[in-house]
């Protein structure tokens, strides 16, 4: 008797159906965002249908050096996941209730945070406070699927009422009413609260 789920994508994906796309880091750095999306879409589509390989139409030219073996690819060419930027071959990070993803941090020094303006009357982007785009990108790499975004720094009078930006700004302002630290006040000025 045939298996009842034999013709379903779930059955086909058993033991295969991977959606991870790995290429040499140097090649990924030279790819345009459109090229990256194309290979990722092709691999995810193949994975959903239970295939191990993506369509040959999505092959990336000059990804493999002539005469290189699979071992050479991973040991000498520093392969990374096109979607996440993480090293390929690294153990998969599994999160459990006891092993949670990195928490969102909005305090601290360094490249991930905007400096608080010395001018305490500054508003919008000039106020400082909150994460930089670089910090948001790093957080998203470490927490795939995150929807974290930078602040809405536009003048409220120039934001269309009821738009996503307007709702995000109002929501942030409501949540941060009690923030009294220097960085908290700077973040509220940045969001024009």
DSSP category for residue 28: H
pTM over 0.75: no
| Sequence-ordered strand ranges (E) for 29-103 | 79-81
> Mind listing the pLDDT tens digit for each residue in 22-63?
787 878 888 888 888 888 888 777 777 766 666 555 566 555
Do residues 27 and 62 lie in contact, with contact meaning Cβ atoms separated by under 8 Å? yes
Residues near 106 by beta carbon (within 8 Å), at least 6 away in sequence: 113, 130, 131, 183, 187
> Mind listing the pLDDT tens digit for each residue in 92-135?
555 555 555 555 554 445 567 778 888 888 888 788 888 888 88
Tokens of 90: 């690294």
């Amino acid at each position: 008797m045939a298996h009842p789920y034999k013709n379903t994508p779930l059955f086909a994906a058993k033991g295969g159906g991977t959606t991870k796309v790995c290429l040499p880091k140097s090649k990924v750095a030279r790819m345009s965002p459109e090229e990256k999306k194309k290979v990722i879409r092709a691999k995810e589509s193949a994975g959903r249908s239970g295939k191990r390989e993506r369509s040959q139409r999505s092959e990336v030219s000059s990804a493999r050096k002539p005469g290189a073996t699979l071992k050479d690819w991973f040991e000498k060419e520093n392969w990374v996941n096109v979607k996440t930027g993480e090293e390929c071959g690294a153990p998969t990070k599994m999160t459990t209730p006891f092993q949670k993803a990195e928490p969102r941090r909005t305090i601290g020094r360094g490249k991930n945070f905007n400096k608080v303006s010395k001018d305490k009357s500054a508003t919008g982007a000039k106020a400082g406070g909150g994460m930089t785009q670089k910090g948001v990108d790093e957080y998203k790499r470490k927490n795939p699927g995150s929807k974290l975004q930078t602040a809405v720094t536009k003048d409220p009078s120039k934001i269309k009422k009821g738009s996503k930006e307007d709702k995000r700004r109002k929501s942030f302002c409501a949540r941060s009413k009690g923030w009294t630290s220097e960085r908290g006040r700077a973040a509220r000025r940045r969001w024009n609260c």
